[in-house]
């Protein structure tokens, strides 16, 4: 999957999630698929469809099957293991191994084509933030997700939208007049008297100005409200996400060689 979006050069401090971690610029690679530098870059790009500003958690469903673990982390691990298994089986059908390291350019192209698909990307979702995420309908990764989730097109749209709920909320925060006013105060605070606005303010100064300008308080207040708003706006996608994910958990539990995480495992 590939995403494109336009960024801003405004030197504002990143909006942080409720966990305290910055949500700007996060991407997740998958160490399962080992290949050349170009292929590794493509894999990181694909994994970054959850990209942009990080994920907003969705409460774990509870499919009525004792083989399905409880807890979001354990369920995510089960789905990941199942997807890896299905991708590996598909790649073997192409005479390739997900853990191989192709060296020649032709081998690398064949590896990427088998994994990600070829030709124009048939799947496309443009988010309210302006970012567009695209993906192929063919390739082993698409085949694995189709087998797990059933309707690949519905799953792709639901997953992309849900994984970017926080990014959508942050875009709404930035457009709010209260946030803009606080950001202007912050900008004046970090700009030395008689000097141009710094591209990269000193971190300590930026943190102090965030407190003194009220930017931190404004963001905390708006984030809670905007997350509620975007969840209401994307209610249909959230419903589809939960339904298809629950079905995928049942399918994953039925795979013979899937490594099941310990029941009830949750992040510390």
Domain contains 11: no
> Among 22-31, 129-138, 207-216, which range has the highest average pLDDT?
207-216
Sequence-distant (≥ 6) Cβ neighbours of residue 13 within 8 angstroms: 186, 206, 207, 210, 215
Give me the chain's average pLDDT, please.
79
**118 CB neighbour count, 10 Å cutoff:** 11
Number of domains in the chain: 1
- Separation of alpha carbons 113 and 15, rounded Å: 37
Residue 119 — very low, low, confident or very high, per pLDDT cuts 50/70/90? confident
- Residue 264 within any structural domain of the chain: no
Give the mean pLDDT of 151-167. 94
Contacts of 15 (CB under 8 A, 6+ apart): 22, 23, 24, 53, 170, 173, 174, 219, 223
Instruction: Tell me if 115 is assigned to some domain.
Output: yes
The pTM of the whole model exceeds 0.75: no
> Would you say residue 4 lies in a domain?
no
Cβ neighbors of 231 (< 8 A, separation 6 or more) are 165, 238
pLDDT value of position 70: 87
Query: Residue 89's closest CA among 47, 81, 23, 117?
Result: 81
Distance set, CA 199 to CA 192, 202, 203 (Å) = 12, 10, 12
Tokens 């299905």 map to which residue?
86
In a domain, 268, yes or no: no
- pLDDT tens track for 5-20: 545 555 677 676 554 4
Mean pLDDT of 191-210: 92
pLDDT bucket at 206, cuts 50 / 70 / 90: very high
How much is the pLDDT for 207? Answer: 96
The residue among 36 and 186 whose pLDDT is bigger is: 186
pLDDT above 80: residue 215: yes
Domain assignment present for 122: yes
**Residues near 27 by beta carbon (within 8 Å), at least 6 away in sequence:** 44, 47, 48, 50, 51
The neighbour count for residue 252, using CB atoms within 10 Å, is 24
State phi, psi for 33 to the nearest 5 degrees: -95, 110
Residue 56, in any domain of the structure: yes
Average pLDDT on 194-215 reads: 93
pLDDT for 144 beyond 50: yes
Confidence of residue 246 (pLDDT cuts 50, 70, 90): very high
Band of pLDDT at residue 33, cut at 50, 70 and 90:
very low
Write out the residue range of the structural domain in which residue 129 sits.
21-254
pLDDT number for residue 24:
37
Quick check: is 13 in a domain?
A: no
Average pLDDT for 112-130 = 86
Neighbours of 257 (CB within 10 A): 9
């Amino acid at each position: 999957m590939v995403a494109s979006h336009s960024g801003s050069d405004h030197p504002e401090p990143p909006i942080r999630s409720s966990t305290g971690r910055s949500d700007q610029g996060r991407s997740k690679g998958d160490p399962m698929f080992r290949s050349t530098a170009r292929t590794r870059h493509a894999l990181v790009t694909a994994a970054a469809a959850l990209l942009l500003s990080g994920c907003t958690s969705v409460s774990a469903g509870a499919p009525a099957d004792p083989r399905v673990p409880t807890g979001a982390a354990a369920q995510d691990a089960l789905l990941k293991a199942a997807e890896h298994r299905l991708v590996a089986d598909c790649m073997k059908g192409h005479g390739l191994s997900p853990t191989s390291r192709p060296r020649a350019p032709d081998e690398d192209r064949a590896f990427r084509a088998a994994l990600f698909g070829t030709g124009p990307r048939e799947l496309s979702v443009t988010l309210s933030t302006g970012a567009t995420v695209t993906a192929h309908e063919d390739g082993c990764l698409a085949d694995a997700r189709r087998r797990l989730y059933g309707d690949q097109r519905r799953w792709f749209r639901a997953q992309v939208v849900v994984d970017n709920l926080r990014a959508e909320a942050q875009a709404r925060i930035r457009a709010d007049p209260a946030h803009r006013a606080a950001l202007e105060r912050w900008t004046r605070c970090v700009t030395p008297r008689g000097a141009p606005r710094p591209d990269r303010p000193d971190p300590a100064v930026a943190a102090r100005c965030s407190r003194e300008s009220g930017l931190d308080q404004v963001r905390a207040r708006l984030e809670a409200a905007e997350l509620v708003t975007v969840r209401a706006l994307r209610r249909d996608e959230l419903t589809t996400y939960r339904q298809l994910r629950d079905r995928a958990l049942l399918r994953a539990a039925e795979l013979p060689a899937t490594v099941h995480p310990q029941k009830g495992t949750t992040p510390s």
